[in-house]
Amino acid sequence: MKISDFSRRSGLSIDTLRYYERIGLLPRTARDGGGRRSYGADDLAWACFLSKLQAMDMPIRERLAYSRLRSQGDATLGARRSMLEAHRAALFARQEELCGLIAALDAKIAHYRDREIQSGDNR
């Protein structure tokens, strides 16, 4: 699969894919006769997971650490699971924080609605 298709299917930009390969998040990819990258199904599955980790705001250094563990095979399954559990806990903490912030916004919006109604300006 060519890089443009790979980018579209993985959700990562071409620049991001090249960067990930350069820093070692993606393995060096096979090249065709013209020197163009040629990706396979395993590459796509890994890139899609990296895209999800990126969307979850996992820092690049943690993604790199996870990738290094992954490259060591099944001996690191527990360490990888622990990393993901720690990140999940951080996401839940962020979710709670966001819920509090949304509640504060809701209160302010309700306050403005009440004031608009009181002043007769209830658009």
- Taking only the tens place, the pLDDT of each residue in 9-33 is 999 999 999 999 999 999 888 888 8
Specify the pTM. Answer: 0.80
Helices 77-119, 60-71: crossing angle, 10 deg rounding: 150
Contact 39, 29 (CB under 8 A): yes
State whether the Cα torsion 98-104-110-116 is positive or negative. Answer: negative
Determine the CATH number of domain 3-90: 1.10.1660.10
Domain boundary assignment for the chain? 3-90
Give the per-residue pLDDT at 122: 61
pLDDT in tens, 64-118: 999 999 999 999 999 999 999 999 999 999 999 999 999 999 999 999 999 999 9
pLDDT band at 36 (very low <50, low <70, confident <90, very high): confident
What's the confidence (pLDDT) of residue 116?
A: 94
Give backbone dihedrals phi and psi of 39, rounded to 5 degrees, phi first.
-100, 150
